[in-house]
Homo-oligomer: A and B are copies of this chain.
Amino acid sequence: MSEIVRFGVSIPEGLLQKFDQYLRRKHYRNRSEAIRDLIREKLVEEEWRQSRSEVVGTITYVYDHHKRELTDRLLHLQHNHYAQIISTQHVHLDHDRCLEVIIVKGPASAVRELADRIKALKGILHCSLSMTTTGKDLL
């Protein structure tokens, strides 16, 4: 982790007041923490736009486990992408439905491709990709 430095920001007083109200609504303890968050969010957004950046993400999907062959297809697909998969977590939402979260790490384009393939399977009710980061560039 690199050293902590400081820089100054010039801002109209009225805008700063609005920002301080935002901090309170969002439970921030101080301005620096909120500013660092705004910066990191932008950088992570940009990482994901580069198809070759190494990113980290989670793929969350809800499905009906009674669908024939779906479980097999999901397993097969995950094995084809094992190099990008760190781990999988499974939740029984109710009698019929399951939720799984896969934690993935790899080039942005490969991670998107895996999410697309899961989403396209019959029986998958919803699939969403959450984009985060290895954090390597954020320290």
Which residues of A are in contact with B by a Cβ distance under 8 Å?
1-16, 18-19, 22, 26-29, 31-44, 46, 56-58, 60-64, 66, 86-87, 89, 91, 93-94, 96-97, 99, 101, 103, 105, 116-117, 119-120, 122, 124-139
Chain A, interface SS category:
mixed
- Expressed in whole angstroms, the Cα–Cα distance for A16 and B60 within the complex equals 24
Bound together, the chains give a CA A111 to CA B37 distance in angstroms of: 19
Copies of this protein in the assembly total 4
Residues of B near A89 (CB, < 8 A) are 87, 89, 101, 103
A26 touches B116 (CB 8 A): yes
Give chain B residues whose Cβ lies under 8 Å from the Cβ of A28: 120
| Given A6-B11, A36-B15, A39-B38; A132-B139 close (CB under 8 Å) | no
B residues less than 8 Å from A125 (CB atoms): 40, 133, 135, 138-139
Which residues in B have their C-beta under 8 angstroms from that of A56?
62, 93, 99
CA distance A120 to B26 in the complex (A): 7
Task: Given A9-B9, A15-B139, A62-B132, output 5 extra A-B contacts at Cβ < 8 Å.
Answer: A4-B11, A7-B9, A10-B32, A38-B39, A58-B101
